[in-house]
């Protein structure tokens, strides 16, 4: 699972008002290189929650992202490369996602988070 997906996911449990961002427990992570597409990064930038991305990337062992970013900094290629690496190349393979409100674990295996809810959580 890429951090892009992590940045989009939120906990869906009944009664949870703010299920974002999900905490991450890492047992195993990988990096897969993909081609950079600056247009995509620029359009995605407005949708990304930057703080959550920085926190997640730090947890995954990549702490090169700056804390604060604004639209004008996107022109720099260096930042775009970092952004690209954090967003699309870091993969969580094994571990879990944690709901910030209830602490419920969503296990991640083979890169697939299990977001199925129990009957009492719907």
Partner 1 sequence: MSSRPEFQAPPEIFYNETEARKYTSSSRIVEIQSKLSERALELLDLPNDGVPRLLLDIGCGSGLSGETLSENGQQWIGLDISDSMLDVALEREVEGDLLLSDMGQGLGFRDGVIDGAISISAVQEFDLFSVFDKQWLCNADKSSHVPRLRLKAFFGSLYRCLARGAKAVFQMYPESVAQRELILGYAMRAGFSGGVVVDYPHSTKARKEYLFLTCGPPSMSLALPKAVVEDGESCSEDENGSDGDNQTVNSRSVMLKNISFCLYYRTHQLYQIRCLGQCISYISLWILNKLLVRISDRQRPSKRQKTTKKGKGKGWILKKKEQMRKKGNAVPNDTKYTGRKRKTHF
The minimum distance between CB 91 and partner 1, in angstroms, equals 9
Q: Please give the biggest Cα pair distance in the chain.
A: 48
Taking CA atoms, 27 is separated from 2, 12, 49, 111, in Å, by 15, 23, 24, 11
In eight-state DSSP terms, residue 118 is: P
Residues ≥6 apart with Cβ < 8 Å to 119: none
Q: Is 74 a binder of partner 1 (CB under 8 A)?
A: no
Question: Binders of partner 1 among 103-122, rule CB under 8 A?
Answer: 110-117, 119, 122
The minimum distance between CB 82 and partner 1, in angstroms, equals 18
In the list 5, 58, 63, 76, the residue contacting partner 1 (rule: CB under 8 A) is 5
- Residue 47 to residue 7: CA distance in whole angstroms: 9
Question: Binders of partner 1 among 10-39, rule CB under 8 A?
Answer: 10-12, 19-20, 37, 39
Q: Which residues bind partner 1 (CB under 8 A)?
A: 1-2, 4-5, 7-12, 19-20, 37, 39-40, 43-44, 47, 49, 110-117, 119, 122
């Amino acid at each position: 699972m890429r951090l892009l997906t992590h940045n989009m996911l939120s906990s869906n449990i009944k009664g949870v008002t703010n299920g974002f961002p999900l905490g991450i427990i890492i047992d195993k992570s990988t990096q897969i290189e993909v081609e950079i597409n600056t247009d995509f990064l620029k359009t995605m930038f407005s949708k990304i929650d930057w703080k959550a991305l920085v926190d997640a990337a730090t947890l995954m062992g990549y702490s090169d992202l700056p804390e604060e970013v604004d639209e004008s900094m996107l022109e720099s290629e260096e930042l775009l490369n970092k952004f690209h690496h954090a967003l699309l190349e870091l993969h969580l393979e094994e571990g879990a996602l944690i709901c910030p409100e209830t602490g419920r674990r969503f296990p991640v295996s083979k890169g697939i988070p299990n977001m199925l809810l129990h009957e009492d959580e719907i």
